[in-house]
Amino acid sequence: MGEGGRLVRGVVVRRLLAVDQGPGSVSSLHVRLMAEAAGVTVRTVWKWLAEAREGRLEPVGRQDGFTLDDEQWAVLAEVGGNVAALHRQMTADGSPLSGSLPSLGTLHRVVRRDLQAGRVLEVARPSRNRVEAGRYDQVLADLKLQRAGEGLPVVDAAPPGPGTGEDGEEDPGLSRGGVRLFAPGARVVSTAGVAAVVEVVGHTVAARGIGCVFGEPGVGKTVAVQQALHLLPDRVPIWRAVVGVKPGLPQMRAALLEALGLAAGSLSHRAQPADRALGEALRRPGVLFLDDAQRLSPPLLDYLRLLWDEPGTAAALLLCGAGAERVIARAPALRSRVLTWHQVPGLDQERLAETLALFHDVWEGVDPADVGWADATVARGNFRTWAKLTSHVYALARRGRDVLVDRALMEQACARLGPYP
């Protein structure tokens, strides 16, 4: 284990021992949270703690065993975790990574040993589906997309469909990001965060790769991805798959068949015909969007990987969800094939008042100090919470004429969110 892995282990063990020696004791929740923070399994953290309780705070190295140093580990991350590619670089003539050269089999065992011991591989970039910079810019132009930060127009409501009227007029009860709103006139605002998602989705679709969009609950991941998909050219088919909680393989297969417009009823329990039908459908260029990907187990993610490993697959796969990156990390075969990882942050604090004014007219002219107070008190940059506040502020402001949206009214709106906004 290199210095990076030892540092992670040392921090985890010291903090858990501090809890263990205090008035309480270490619980499974303590261990789970530290495992998520360190990027290792719960079982690994329990093992570290058991060894620390016996007085072994540092891992015991193998006698005369080969160990990757931090420079070699960084190169492994750069080649997407491809051990064979690292071995080729180490054995190349004049390579600075050479040192004592192990065999490829030994190198595989060393990497596997270090990962199981808790060493973190920071970035796993794939070696395939890469797009040259010049071609990438051309593809963005073809898709009529812009780079993040250059600004995109404010799009009124959503495209006609569920939640909109017959003439494309917005339903006052429109759902935005999982929240039913009574706020006619609310708009999707292309913030820098949304523009970044648009760019990422455009890149992934153009490369026909796999992308993962993740972030905390309520930051606007789904809204941003839907906006990005809406901005794709009409000729790009978009398939949205909906999976239930803890689905099995038959339910997963049925969801994919339904999303692709295939006979889900007759095929979902016939594995081979269903897989053949899915494989044929995915030979068409398009994008499959699967929200709440954190619900999927590693075997289901591996099933998706097998579908996308078919030589003729031309569709892109977009996975989205809070914690999706952690679930995918437990499916190494799929993780190594993900072309793009993108974390959606909270709303930009410096431009919050401006963003809200674009989101809904009710925020125009509101004192930025009051907006900052509401954000610090309940919203904390969370898009979903601000959407709910907008709905309440709109309702309160419509009680009479010339109702001023001030601190007092915003306090009433915040109170309606309850103790868990």
Torsion of CA 47, 49, 50, 54, to 10 degrees: 140
User: Can you read off the two tokens belonging to residue 168?
Assistant: 């494309």
Q: Can you give the pLDDT at residue 98?
A: 56
Taking only the tens place, the pLDDT of each residue in 221-265 is 988 898 888 888 878 899 999 888 888 888 888 899 899 888 766
Q: Quick check: 190 pLDDT over 50?
A: yes
Phi-psi region of 303 (alpha: psi -120 to 50; beta: other; left: phi over 0): alpha
User: 221-230 vs 192-207: helix axis angle to the nearest 10?
Assistant: 60
- Mean pLDDT on 259-283: 82
**Same-domain status, 353 and 335:** no
Q: Can you give the pLDDT at residue 268?
A: 60
> Is 333 contained in some domain?
yes
Confidence band of 290 (pLDDT split at 50, 70, 90): very high
Q: Is 271:253 a contact under the CB 8 Å cutoff? A: yes
- Residues 306-325, buried b or exposed e (16+ Cβ, 10 A)? ebbeeeebebbbbbbbbbbb
Confidence band of 120 (pLDDT split at 50, 70, 90): low
- Mean pLDDT on 188-201: 84
What residues have CB less than 8 Å from 369, skipping those under 6 apart? none
Q: Can you give the pLDDT at residue 321?
A: 93
User: Can you read off the two tokens belonging to residue 187?
Assistant: 């708009």
> Is 173 contained in some domain?
no
Q: Can you give the pLDDT at residue 316?
A: 94
Taking only the tens place, the pLDDT of each residue in 45-76 is 888 888 888 777 665 544 446 778 778 887 88
In terms of Cα–Cα distance, which of 371, 324, 323, 345 is closest to 220? 345
Q: Can you give the pLDDT at residue 181?
A: 62
Q: Quick check: 159 pLDDT over 60?
A: no
Domain boundary among 79, 95, 116: 116
**Same-domain status, 196 and 339:** yes
**Same-domain status, 335 and 361:** no
> Is 166 contained in some domain?
no
Q: Name the DSSP class of 239.
A: E
> Is 140 contained in some domain?
no
Element spanning 288, H or E: strand 287-290
**Same-domain status, 335 and 356:** no
Least confident segment among 116-120, 188-192, 225-229, 393-397: 116-120
Considering only residues 117 and 250, tell me which one the structure prediction assigns the higher pLDDT.
250
**Same-domain status, 256 and 384:** no
> Is 380 contained in some domain?
yes
**Same-domain status, 323 and 219:** yes
CATH number at residue 313: 3.40.50.300
Which domain covers residue 371, as residue numbers? 349-415
What residues have CB less than 8 Å from 371, skipping those under 6 apart? 352, 353, 356, 363
User: Can you read off the two tokens belonging to residue 113?
Assistant: 């040993």
**Same-domain status, 335 and 386:** no
Q: What is the pTM of this model?
A: 0.58
**Same-domain status, 223 and 267:** yes
**Same-domain status, 310 and 196:** yes
> How many structural domains is the chain composed of?
4
* C-alpha to C-alpha distances, 345 to 180, 300, 333, 420, nearest whole angstrom: 22, 27, 27, 20
Domain boundary among 291, 312, 343: 343
Highest mean pLDDT among 17-21, 95-99, 241-245: 241-245
> Is 236 contained in some domain?
yes
**Same-domain status, 212 and 329:** yes
> Is 147 contained in some domain?
no
User: Looking at this protein, which amino acid is placed at residue 179?
Assistant: V
| Count of Cβ atoms closer than 10 Å to residue 410 Cβ | 22
% residues pLDDT > 70 (the chain): 74
**Same-domain status, 338 and 364:** no
> Is 331 contained in some domain?
yes
| Count of Cβ atoms closer than 10 Å to residue 248 Cβ | 12
Cα–Cα dist 269/22, whole Å: 54
Domain boundary among 318, 343, 368: 343
Considering only residues 260 and 171, tell me which one the structure prediction assigns the higher pLDDT.
260
Cα–Cα dist 339/127, whole Å: 9
Confidence band of 127 (pLDDT split at 50, 70, 90): very low
Cα–Cα dist 250/271, whole Å: 8
**Same-domain status, 212 and 337:** yes
What residues have CB less than 8 Å from 57, skipping those under 6 apart? 10, 13, 51
Q: Give the long-range contacts of residues 242-245, CB within 8 A, separation 24 or more.
A: 242/291, 243/290, 243/292, 243/295, 243/296, 244/295, 245/295
Q: Is 4:123 a contact under the CB 8 Å cutoff? A: no
